[in-house]
Copies of this chain bind each other. A is one copy, B any other.
Amino acid sequence: MNSIEKKFEKLATDNAPGQETRQKAGNIETLLRGDRLAGTPVDFSHGDVDAFAPAPGSFEAFAAGVKRGGAQAYTEYRGSLEIRNMLADRLASFTGAAVSADDGLIITPGTQGALFLAVASTVSAGDKVAVVQPDYFANRKLVQFFDGEIVPVKLDYLDARNKAGLDLSALEDAFKAGAKVFVFSNPNNPAGVVYSRQEIEAIARLADRHGATVIVDELYSRLLYDGTDYTHLRATGIDPERVVTIMGPSKTESLSGYRLGAAFGSTRIVGRMEKLQAIVSLRAPGYSQAVLSSWFAEPAGWLSERCAAHQAIRDDLLSQLGAVEGVRARKPEAGSYLFPRLPELAVSTQDFVRILRHQAGVTVTPGAEFGPHSTDSVRLNFSQNHKAAADAIERVVELVGRYRK
């Protein structure tokens, strides 16, 4: 195998969320116990934008962008200045620290696009990068793609209380060992836990002390549940040139079909990201950029209603799962992910995930995608029709019983 083959081997997407339809059924029939369970199929690998519709005004904003014509189709690579001006103000007010519309903000195709550009702009071959375990699978894959070296930092999300559970001394050790970049999601994807103010301030202090850059993915930071305090890293007083914050309207706002993301903060890194965007996808998403005019400008009450609806689903699913012997799950404080640890099963988690799909019409993402210590867990995006999701979890509970060791 030559080097490029090896590189793409590591990028395996066979079990990645959304790619399940490409999986072969394989030997699944030989593993089955009992009959199929009837019920509405639920795909927990991503949110259901039919159950939670795109934020009001988004399509109208897109249509207005198309009407605007060339001026909207062709903008600066980093996005239209008018939209950046509008967005910079809203993001500054949301995160509690200034955003430069001119030099410190870039609009990207999806939040994934922002994450790719941020990692590509900070990580070279051989660079050490601190990566949380578990965390969003692309963090690890991106570092590997650019031949960086992953320095793992464990998140004790299951047992920690009133904090996410980051091993701060492991993070300090990573910086001492030469890690120049730290990438993490807050709220954590897949566990849905939020970093405490103390944790975020400690990250800021350590990054400043060791001259490290921090890429923080705050994709779910608007979907907060009762009692959750959220601290934006960029508002801690950390050197602003050390931080890139990533957000986008794909999740809480259900605008993922428009493929929009944004990165803001360090002007040095945003400058690089734009140069790279020129050859990765040329420019910010033409007409879709216009949809950002509806972002952070939703009707009064819209966001709190959306949070409440998700919180109700969270609570029901969690109580269903909590009743199962051997299942452990921490209550998510934000976002729409549940990350339960399963009891010991007679089949591998990978096979159990296939069985769930085959026998119960339930799609979940295996924990191994998020880190090597989560192989006994599965991730569920509970941004779904409430009733269908609860019914689907009943089927999961039933199958956990059947396949228990």
Contact = CB atoms under 8 A, between A and B. Distances in A.
A187 interface: no
A46 to B, nearest CB: 5
A248 to B, nearest CB: 11
Interface string A1-40: 0111001100111001011011000000000000000000
Interface string A309-352: 00000000000000000000000000000000000000000000
Contacts of A59: 63, 66
A141 interface: yes
Contact of A257 (B65, B76, B115): B65
A47 to B, nearest CB: 8
Given A256-B286, A257-B287, A4 B122 contact: yes
A391 to B, nearest CB: 18
Interface in A168-212: none
Interface in A126-148: 138, 141-142, 145
Contact of A281 (B13, B21, B109): B109
Contacts of A113: 109, 280-282
Interface size class of A (residues with CB under 8 A): 35 or more
Interface in A272-302: 272, 274-276, 278-283, 285-288
Given A18-B74, A50-B69, A257-B287, A8 B121 contact: yes
Given A109-B285, A279-B11, A19 B138 contact: no
A18 B46 CA distance: 35
Nearest to A74: B46
B16 A76 contact: no
Nearest to A117: B280
A278 B48 contact: no
Q: Nearest 8 A-B pairs (CB), nearest first?
A: A73-B257, A257-B286, A112-B282, A11-B275, A257-B287, A50-B69, A109-B109, A4-B124
Given A2-B124, A18-B77, A46-B74, 10 more contacts: A13-B77, A18-B76, A49-B70, A65-B257, A74-B256, A109-B113, A109-B259, A109-B281, A138-B278, A259-B285
5 contacts: A4-B124, A7-B124, A49-B73, A59-B66, A73-B256
